[in-house]
Amino acid sequence: MNSQTFSLQPFTSTESLANLEITGDISRNINQLSIGYTVTGDLKEILVAPPSNIPSRKHQLWEDTCFEFFLGIKNSQQYWEFNLSPTGDWNVYRFDGYRQGMREETALTIPSFDVRKYTDQLVLTLNIDLDKIISPEQIIQVAITTVIKCKDNGVTYWALTHRGAEADFHLRDSFILEL
C-alpha cells in the first residue's frame, strides 16, 4: 500500500483565511483509493451547504465549497477530475488532455463518501475502486485541491502546489503525488 499525508496551500493572490488549515491523507491499495480531507479553523467564516436529502451527480460544484482531486496516468495526457461537495453531491469528469475533451466519466457510479462537520473541523473521507478507469499496475499522479467559499462570497483556492500565474488545478505539473 502507498500512503501519503498532505497539507494544502492557498493560492497567493487570493485572500486566505489566516486561521484555516487543510490537511489530509491519501492511499492506494492495489486499486482502492482512499482520501481524507480535514479543514480546521474558524468554520463560521466558510459557506458549507447542508447535506442533500438525496446526494446525486451535479455540475459546477466548484462554484461553492468543494473538495477536489485530479488523477492522471503517468506518461499520459488523460486525467480525471473528482468533485465532492459537503452536501454529498459529486461528479467525476474525464479529460483527454489539458482542459480538452471534458465529459462525465460514466464508468464510475456514485462514490460514497462521508462528511462530518464539527465546531472547528470539517472532515470528508472517500473510498473508491478505480478498476473501471485505471489498471492496478498503472502509476497514477495526483493533484489534491479544495475550493473554499466564504460567507462574504469570497473564494479561496487551495492545492498541494500552485504552478501557474492564476489558480489552475488542471495544470499537469501540479499532479505531484505518485501512487
- Lowest mean pLDDT across 10-14, 38-42, 131-135, 169-173: 10-14
Contacts of 149 (CB under 8 A, 6+ apart): 46, 47, 63, 64, 65, 155
Q: Residue 60: which region, alpha, beta or left (left: phi > 0; alpha: psi -120 to 50)?
A: left
What pLDDT, in 10s, does the model give residues 69-89?
999 999 999 999 999 999 999
Residue 153: the pLDDT is 81
Q: Does the pLDDT value for residue 14 go beyond 70? A: no
**Proportion of the chain above pLDDT 70, given as a percent:** 96
- The model's pLDDT over 122-175, given as tens digits with 9 standing for 90+, comes to 999 999 999 999 999 999 999 999 999 988 888 999 999 999 888 999 999 999
2-178 folds as: Immunoglobulin-like (2.60.40)
